[in-house]
Every structure is written in C-alpha cells, then in structure tokens.
Amino acid sequence: MQRTFSTVLFDLDGTLLDTAPDMAWALNQMRIQIGNEALDFQLIRPHVSHGSFALSRIGCGAVEGSDEFERFRLGLLQIYSDNIARETQLFDGIAEILGELESRSIPWGIVTNKPSCLTTPLLQQLELSNRAAVVISGDTVPEKKPHPAQLLLAAERLNTLPGECVYVGDAERDIAAGNAAGMLTVAALYGYLSADDTPATWGADNMVRTPTELNEWLFPT
C-alpha cells in the first residue's frame, strides 16, 4: 500500500544517528577523571536518548541538583562537545532511506531535544547540515518533546501540514509528541530502548526493528 506523506522527520540520537559510542566514551572519560571505573557500554546505551541528566544519574553517584552532580554533568558535556563525532554515524540502512527520500524530492528533517550547541556541530561534521530541510533542536522553542511544539514548528517551516508528516523516534516522548502534533508516528525499536520500555503501549502507527523495515514501510513495493 502506498503511504501518503510529504515529509519525514527524525529524532536524532538513537533514530537517525548512533551517537551512543561517543556519549558513552565521554561519560567514562568523566568517570575516570573523578577516580571511578568505566561503566559497561551496554549499561550506558539505553540512557543515551535521555541526555546529560540521565547519563549523569548513572555515572556520577551524587544527588541530582547538587553542585557535584552539576559539575559532573557540565564536564561530561564539555568532553562530549570536544569529541562529538569520534565514532558517531548513521545507523545502518538510514543512508539508503535519506537517499530514497532525496531522489523522490521528499524533504526530511530532524527534531531533537539535543541542544543546538551540540546538534549543529555534529550535523556539520557528518555533512548532514545541508541535506536536512529543517533542524529543530531542544532550545529552538521553549517546549521540548513530549510537547508537540517542536514538531509543529518543523511542519510550519517546511510549509506542510502536520498530517502529511511522518515522525520517527526511539523514545516514548517522541511518539507522544508526534501523536499530539497529528503526525504519523513510527517507533524505532533499534534505538536506545531499555528493558523497562514498552513501545507497544506508546500508540505509534508502526514499530520497526531496523532501518530496513522503516524503508520498506515508507516505500512499499
């Protein structure tokens, strides 16, 4: 069945880009600086989509809101910012989706809670800045996902109706935001989900285990 959409929007971490290796590396570098052992990558990975606060909760050991916690979080962000694209790359199969969208003149964009001070240089280093038709970061508007404001702004900037957009994300807040915006939503199960996540209850229009499945859903033969 041919799907009707005019735009595809992606979450960034855990959906479009596999940023976990670099964020985990930065977290462990910060732990080593304060005299702690590195954490196992598989322990860190499920927390990556939830940003610096979530990573600091598992990495710091101090009470959230304390000066020690905030020093750790800011140090983590500085290390990550200085090493933002050591190993980060598109998930396997995403390049083919972007190529297919571009060959069909279908614009694609990014809507992420990641702040622009990290989003912008990351996309520049991966040579994606000029390809994305719109980029909405976590500080573009006051409200972040699960609020729909970022997604609605993306649709407005692309001069398209929300109902003609697909939003793909790997977290419950992504699906909640997309549904609230009136978009088609796809849960990316290949992303940074934890054992406690229950994507079947999120209300997504579809769930995909790989980018290849997403490609097949977007462009059925």
Which of residues 62, 82, 102 is at a domain's end? 82
Looking at the 3D structure of the chain, how many domains does it have?
2
* Together in a domain, 164 and 143: yes
Q: Regarding beta strands 17-18 and 89-90, do their DSSP bridges make them parallel or antiparallel, or are they unpaired?
A: antiparallel
With respect to residue 180, please indicate whether it lies within any of the assigned structural domains.
yes
| Full domain range(s) for residue 196 | 7-17+88-218
Amino acid at 144: K
pLDDT of 221: 84
* Together in a domain, 157 and 194: yes
* Together in a domain, 116 and 192: yes
pLDDT of 166: 98
pLDDT of 4: 85
With respect to residue 150, please indicate whether it lies within any of the assigned structural domains.
yes
The CA-atom distances, in angstroms, between 24 and each of 44, 68, 69, 95, 190 are 6, 20, 17, 23, 17
- Tens-of-pLDDT digits for all 221 residues of the chain? 556 899 999 999 999 999 999 999 999 999 999 999 999 999 999 999 999 999 999 999 899 999 999 999 999 999 999 999 999 999 999 999 999 999 999 999 999 999 999 999 999 999 999 999 999 999 999 999 999 999 999 999 999 999 999 999 999 999 999 999 999 999 999 999 999 999 999 999 999 999 999 999 999 98
Q: Is 139 a catalytic residue?
A: no
End-to-end CA distance of the chain: 8
Identify which of 32, 46, 41, 119 has the alpha carbon closest to the alpha carbon of residue 76: 32
* Together in a domain, 101 and 43: no
What span, in angstroms and rounded, lies between the C-alpha atoms of 109 and 114?
14
Angle between helices 116-125 and 67-82 (to 10 degrees): 20
